Structure 1
Amino acid sequence: MQIIDAHQHFWIFDAEQDSWITPDKKNIRRDFLPNELLAILTENKIDRCIAVQSRQNEGDNFFLLECAEDNPFIKGIVGWVDLCSEQVELHLKKYAQFPLIKGFRHVLEAEKDPAFMLNPRFLKGIALLNQYGFTYDLLIRPEHLKFALQLVEQFPEQRFVIDHMAKPRIKDKEITQWHHDINLLAKHNNVSCKISGLVTEADWHNWTLQDLEPYLDIVFSTFGKHRVMYGSDWPVCNLAGGYDLFFNAINIYTAKFPIGNQELFWGANAVAFYKLNEDN
């Protein structure tokens, strides 16, 4: 069975550019580069990965491309582009020349306006993605789900994926409204969901699989076997126990599924969504 980590990050730490990595997150306030991840992937028998942007500038795209050129286990990149720019199509044409760039993401959760994704200029950018074959990762929180629904309804041909299950408030055991809203999004077949980033929404030091299970049950049942994929959110997962702890918990959870469903979740769905191939 092929296993793909569909969501992880690399960075050379810079306190100004990485201001979200506050002093209380001291164990990720350093560089994280491919050689460190490769050792972890090898230990866990994980074959490939998707590198996702962590900075909202195009320099980060080229940094990730350099990482991938030297490390063939990186099979795809989710970069960043200013979708509100009047020059966005020129940028998309430029990135279409790089087969490793599979799609883009914006840190929507950090925007002051929770409806930022419905800004007409942003929508014009989203409208161009599909013609160049690009996916879009939605980095949002529960309060953004109602706006994300309005977004995806406008673009039924665009491939969207929700990062980190929209960060449900697991630590506070809040589930009802998140369940309602994510269920509405799951009704759209062009929307997939990453099982990633959950442990940092739980109690960092005391979470258990039992804390995650109610949320996992909802996503696996609503999105179905073809629209869920695994992502570690490394190195951010180090805040809550590290790579192995989350990977092993998800292994235990998915062991109850038929082998075909497991193969889809652990690799085949990511291959299909990001259109990965061995030629990259």
Structure 2
Amino acid sequence: MATGDSPNYPIIDSHIHLYPESELDTLAWCGPSHPLHKQHSLSEYATATGSPASLEGFIFLETDRKHDLAAGAGGWAMPLMEVEWLKRIALGTPREGEGHGAEHAQLCLAIVPWAPLPSGAEVLSRYVTEVEKHAGASFGKIRGFRYLVQDKPRGTMLQDGFIEGLRWLGRKGYVFDLGVDLHSGGKWQLEEAVEMIEKAHEGVEEAERVTFIINHLCKPDLSVYNPTDPKFVAWRTAMFKLSKCSKTFLKLSGCFSEMPDSLKTAPVDEIFLALQPYLVVILATFGSFRIMYGSDWPVCTVGVEDAWKKWRRVVERFCDLASLSQEEQIMIWSGTAIKAYGIRELMQ
């Protein structure tokens, strides 16, 4: 795994974003003044991680490219451009200057593109057909889809079309990556997410129920250290409810973004102590067999020096102090991601 006498368990980074400099203007959130407004490709990722021998690969998550649901297929151009970009990574066929090569292809274990979930099952089916055309030989690596709801209006997750789309994903064997934000959006997002999952699974046979992979612990406010604080209680309550469904998994990722600046720059042990109330809850609710390690690179680097390695040490500290068994630690570092995304056959 890395430091000291810790075991060198295989690592799958379950949550990273990549984009070339030539496509920066397609990102909905990244203007010229943004600290991440530059190429973030595999060469930069390799530098950030130090390319440890234990890193088996990563799962790519869509980067919220510009789109327009109202325009139908005409609004899909930039997300489909991202699918083409990931195809070049997965097949090891870069364009000049894109920052990756044939040697990086094996690291791309799974791809989770954007999808127009609110548009309903019929539109979603047409969209995935287009994804297959653009992905070509890399289509088998597409294991699920994401439509970020953290910045969307109330009720988005509960629309008939959204629920239809989730049920379609379940029938087709795709997972849904769920991105909600307690810190910036409010506790209603978590309450709505619980209701959404219930609606998506209601009356559906277990085998066809869509799997939900929850990003970044639902983004709690990590300036709150008091377990009796109403914000913490709301988050904890949602974690218990979300974990009751056996087809939900949780990414131990994205925490730097929700920390106060003073904590981001603190030593690893201090960060771990601040996170301990949250880590206790996720272990009690989801358990190590439904928790997966993720870095949220390059988002994790904003305001944090050597962020990928630092987060790895925090998670390592968690595994050590929680006295997790070898099997439990392997699940967090790689096994849960393999199970949730169904990628074991892709790694052989």
TM-score (structure 1 length as normaliser): 0.92
Letter in 2 for 1:38: A
SS of the residue corresponding to residue 223 of structure 2 reads coil
Which residue is equivalent to 1:214?
Answer: 277
Residue from 147, 151, 157 that aligns with 1:110:
151
Does 1:60 find its partner at 2:82?
yes
Task: State the alpha-carbon separation in 2 of the partners of residues 158 and 52 from structure 1.
Answer: 18
Which residue is equivalent to 1:223?
Answer: 286
Letter in 1 for 2:309: D
Does 1:179 find its partner at 2:240?
no
Task: State the alpha-carbon separation in 2 of the partners of residues 9 and 253 from structure 1.
Answer: 24
How far residue 275 of structure 1 moved from its aligned partner, in angstroms, is: 0.7
Does 1:50 find its partner at 2:102?
no
How far residue 94 of structure 1 moved from its aligned partner, in angstroms, is: 4.9
Distance 1:223-1:278 versus aligned 2 partners, 3 A rule = same
Q: Which of the pair has the greater relative contact order for Cα pairs under 8 Å at 6+ separation?
A: 1
Does 1:201 find its partner at 2:258?
yes
Does 1:18 find its partner at 2:27?
yes
Letter in 2 for 1:20: W
How far residue 41 of structure 1 moved from its aligned partner, in angstroms, is: 5.6
CA deviations 1:10-44 (Å, max 9, x no partner) are: 01255643342367742x22110012223426237
Which residue is equivalent to 1:141?
Answer: 181
Residue from 150, 174, 189 that aligns with 2:195:
150
Distance 1:41-1:62 versus aligned 2 partners, 3 A rule = farther
**How many pairs align?**
278
**Matched-pair contact (CA < 8 Å) for 2:10–2:54:** no
Task: State the alpha-carbon separation in 2 of the partners of residues 233 and 219 from structure 1.
Answer: 18
Distance 1:109-1:279 versus aligned 2 partners, 3 A rule = closer
Residue from 96, 104, 108 that aligns with 1:74:
108
How many percent identity over aligned positions?
A: 24
Letter in 2 for 1:90: R
CA deviations 1:27-76 (Å, max 9, x no partner) are: x2211001222342623731111011002422212212222221211100
Which residue is equivalent to 2:310?
Answer: 245
Task: State the alpha-carbon separation in 1 of the partners of residues 24 and 113 from structure 2.
Answer: 21
Which residue is equivalent to 2:71?
Answer: none
Distance 1:83-1:19 versus aligned 2 partners, 3 A rule = closer
Task: State the alpha-carbon separation in 2 of the partners of residues 20 and 268 from structure 1.
Answer: 32
SS of the residue corresponding to residue 59 of structure 2 reads strand
Task: State the alpha-carbon separation in 1 of the partners of residues 173 and 274 from structure 2.
Answer: 37
Letter in 2 for 1:163: N
TM-score (structure 2 length as normaliser): 0.75
Distance 1:109-1:212 versus aligned 2 partners, 3 A rule = same
Give structure 1 stretches of 5+ with no counterpart: none
Which residue is equivalent to 1:169?
Answer: 221
Task: State the alpha-carbon separation in 2 of the partners of residues 209 and 179 from structure 1.
Answer: 18
Runs of 4+ residues over 4 Å off in structure 1: 13-16, 22-25, 93-97
Distance 1:149-1:178 versus aligned 2 partners, 3 A rule = same
Distance 1:41-1:73 versus aligned 2 partners, 3 A rule = farther
Task: State the alpha-carbon separation in 2 of the partners of residues 271 and 15 from structure 1.
Answer: 30
Give the number of the structure whose residues are more often helix, by fraction: 2
Distance 1:32-1:175 versus aligned 2 partners, 3 A rule = same
SS of the residue corresponding to residue 80 of structure 1 reads coil
